[in-house]
Chain A
Amino acid sequence: MPHNSTSSPDRPERDGQGPLEERVIISLNHVNLSYPDQVALKDVNFQVANGEFLCLTGPSGAGKSSILRLISMDAFPTRGQVRVRGMLASSMNRRRIPQLRREIGFVFQDFRLLEDRSVYDNVAFAQLVIGVPGRQIAENVTRVLNKVGLWEKRHRKPCQLSGGEQQRVAVARAMVNSPKILLADEPTGNLDPVTAQEIIDLLFRFNDMGTCVIFSTHDHGIVKTFGRRVIVLENGAIVSDKLRDDQVDRTARLDDGMYRAESAGPRPQQVEVPSHA
């Protein structure tokens, strides 16, 4: 049964004490989505509050990526309503989509970095295209690269980095515009357990700073490490929307054997992240 609760013990208190309606940043209301050859989503209902960390899980083809596409307005519902930051997809002027996307960060399984540009330029690119002045770009890129622990490697090209480092660049690029929402579509899919844990930690840290994170994965091993809200999808429908209770072992880590793959590497180096910007 779909469950529409958005309260979460993990939600940062600073996100506001007001009623739920005022804190809802994403809302899907009886949403259906069909592609020419398949039905992707069926009567999907849920809301996400500002600053929440939501995990979407389910087998491949369950509709996780379709939900992310709807939120980023890369797709539009066949029926029902999608509202993101107060903007209703069905009545939204398409010309405003770029403005909306400036408030959303994206991280993908395949990183989607520009191979011919350095780490610094990849991150700066996200600021450049939206018209941030040059000096401000330098400040923001420096800040975010320090946060993800890649400042020292800022001159390297993506091909000179490990998979985990490339994903950290992708996270830095997603976060450099200080988005309200971060959509992570299978961000650990190409990573070993140690590196996957690094990325998850990084996303938690950005969430702790107030960014709403929606994390999709088909891997239940990853979900088990989350003391957060988890929506399970199957065949395009929500089959469960639950808060994992605080009894979840937050000390459990993917590289402690909860992940399917064997952990071979050393414990990930912890990235120093300032508590708040």
Chain B
Amino acid sequence: MLSGSQWKYLARESVAGFRRRTLTTGVTILIMSSSLMVLAVLTMTTLNLGNLLDTARQGIDMRVFLMDNLPAQQLAELQPRLLRIPGVADVQFISRDMALDEFRQSLGDDASLLALLDANPLPASYRLELTRGSRTLQAVHGIRDEIAGWEEVSDILYNQEWIDVLERWTYRFQMASLVVGLVVFLAAIFVISNTVKLTIASSSAVIRVQKLVGATNTFIRTPFICEGMMQGLLAGTLAMGLLATAMHVMKDELTGLIVFTPAQMAGFVGLCVVLGLIGSWAAMGKYLGLRSEG
């Protein structure tokens, strides 16, 4: 248990590093906050891409086109068969006439062109609504493969290409974000660790005396740990402050996008404090030479 005078001393020493090396500490905090900004923006972009992919998946529209002139009995049997396929939530029959109506509506002013046709060229179809868990490329392919062999089916269509592309790029971006995030994470630890090492180096005389007179290693370490955590706190706060300002300025452009909530920002600052803790702890073992003693 620390005495009151020890607490005062530790508090004083924790900020002493800032006072002694204002420039170094300032630069450290700037570098860290820039890195953390990058990390935050990457995180938000990844979240938004994920959200976009989810929205796109909601819109996956699978159409099963049928052969012409199928008997009514066969048509009626198809519906329960389709519903039995895992991943299919609901089916809707679209007759040839309904398909033509849809087409006419989609043509808008050019619908008069349809009058040139002798007959309705559109086939009847089933529109498949998929369960939430089946709106992935892999599940859609599974359903397609199962239906493709049926004799009643002439073709299967879904908005495959752009979902494929979106999914592929989202995955790539997430992987890249993960790598960049990891690099930024390690870089932040490295920067804090080096700054704390400077403090330790300049405090070697004090540390030597502390060890001589019987200070515990916890007592010796505490100011350096606190310094690292404060650097993390300041860098995180600066990064989130800049991000919040940028979000406020660009709020119209960001409408509909996922942005950090105040609670998430506070969590991010907390993460930065942990980074500071890890960075300063990493500096300890090697430079304090305290490994053998408690």
Contact = CB atoms under 8 A, between A and B. Distances in A.
Task: Please indicate whether A and B come from the same complex rather than being unrelated chains.
Answer: yes
Interface of A: 93-104, 106, 112, 114-115, 125-126, 128-134, 137, 173, 177
Contacts of B211: 98, 101
Interface of B: 1-6, 9, 205-206, 208-217, 219, 292-294
Contacts of B292: 94
A98 B206 CA distance: 15
A131 B3 contact: yes
B277 to A, nearest CB: 22
A196 B209 CA distance: 23
A125 B207 CA distance: 11
B214 A99 contact: yes
Given A94-B292, A112-B208, A114-B209, A101 B214 contact: yes
A114 B205 contact: yes
A115 B209 CA distance: 12
B294 A133 contact: no
A134 B2 CA distance: 12
Contacts of B216: 95, 98
A132 B5 contact: yes
A99 B293 CA distance: 11
B213 A101 contact: yes
Contacts of B6: 128-129, 131
A93 B209 CA distance: 21
Contacts of A128: 5-6, 9
A177 B294 CA distance: 20
Q: Choose among B3, B213, B215, B292 the residue with the greatest number of A CB atoms under 10 Å from its CB.
A: B213
A130 B5 contact: no
Nearest to B20: A116
A46 to B, nearest CB: 23
Q: Choose among A94, A95, A125, A128 the residue with the greatest number of B CB atoms under 10 Å from its CB.
A: A128
Contact of A112 (B2, B212, B294): B212
Contacts of B3: 131-134
A98 B214 CA distance: 4
A133 B293 contact: no
Nearest to A124: B5
Given A94-B293, A97-B294, A134-B3, 13 more contacts: A97-B293, A99-B214, A101-B214, A106-B213, A112-B212, A126-B209, A128-B9, A129-B6, A129-B9, A130-B214, A131-B6, A137-B5, A177-B213
B171 to A, nearest CB: 50
12 contacts: A93-B294, A94-B293, A98-B215, A100-B214, A106-B213, A112-B212, A114-B205, A126-B213, A130-B215, A131-B2, A131-B5, A132-B5
B212 A102 contact: no
Given A102-B214, A133-B4, A125 B209 contact: yes
Contacts of B294: 93-98
B260 to A, nearest CB: 42
Contacts of A133: 3-5
Contacts of A129: 6, 9, 210, 213-215, 219
Contacts of A173: 209, 213
A187 to B, nearest CB: 14
Contacts of B217: 98
Contacts of A126: 209, 213
A112 B205 contact: yes
Closest 3 CB pairs of A and B: A95-B294, A102-B214, A101-B214
B206 A101 contact: no
Contacts of A132: 3, 5
A137 B214 CA distance: 16
A101 B4 contact: no
A101 B212 contact: yes
Nearest to A104: B214
A94 B290 CA distance: 10
Nearest to A177: B213
